[in-house]
């Protein structure tokens, strides 16, 4: 008689804001992995999982991507940057620009907006 233990789930390894991390490859989105598994609250869950509002936008290898519709397995070996991983001077520049142009709202979606802008600037 063989011992039937559950198969081990493969791990997905990537870098978030300069730190290498691993999460189980259990079919979740990048947003779910960031918030649920890694405790990173910078990307927000707005329209999740429709990918329309942009609250969950992060940079994947420098390019903006909505995390709620990105399977975590697609970012194996890649570099993810949230607003927390941007340089302080970059965050301040975008904050000042949004304030100067009336682009600030309640603040919920601001991290995603800033990541999108930073990706477009690069």
Q: What is the mean pLDDT of the chain?
A: 92
Q: Is the pLDDT of residue 4 over 60?
A: no
Distance between CA atoms of residues 93 and 100, nearest Å? 11
**The predicted structure's pLDDT at residue 35:** 97
Q: How far apart are CA 68 and CA 79, in angstroms?
A: 17
pLDDT of residue 9: 82
Domain spans in the chain, listed from the N-terminal domain onward: 11-121
Q: Tell me the two tokens of residue 66.
A: 């909505």
Closest CA to 83 of 69, 98, 72: 98
Q: What is the pTM of this model?
A: 0.88
User: CA-to-CA distance for 6 and 3, rounded, in angstroms?
Assistant: 10
Query: In the predicted model, is pLDDT for residue 42 greater than 50?
Result: yes
Is 11-121 a CATH 3.30.70.2740 domain? no
Question: Contact 31/45 with Cβ under 8 angstroms?
Answer: yes
CA distance 78 to 72: 10
């Amino acid at each position: 008689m063989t011992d039937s233990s559950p198969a081990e789930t493969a791990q997905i390894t990537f870098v978030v804001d300069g730190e290498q991390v691993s999460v189980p490859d259990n079919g979740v989105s990048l947003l779910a992995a960031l918030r649920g598994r890694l405790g990173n609250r910078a990307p927000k869950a707005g329209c999740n999982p429709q990918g329309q509002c942009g609250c969950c936008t992060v940079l994947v290898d420098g390019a903006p991507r909505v995390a709620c519709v990105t399977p975590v397995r697609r970012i194996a070996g890649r570099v993810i940057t949230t607003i927390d991983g941007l340089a302080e001077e970059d965050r301040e520049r975008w904050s000042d620009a949004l304030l100067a142009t009336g682009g600030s709202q309640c603040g919920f979606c601001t991290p995603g907006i800033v990541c999108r802008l930073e990706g477009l600037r690069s």
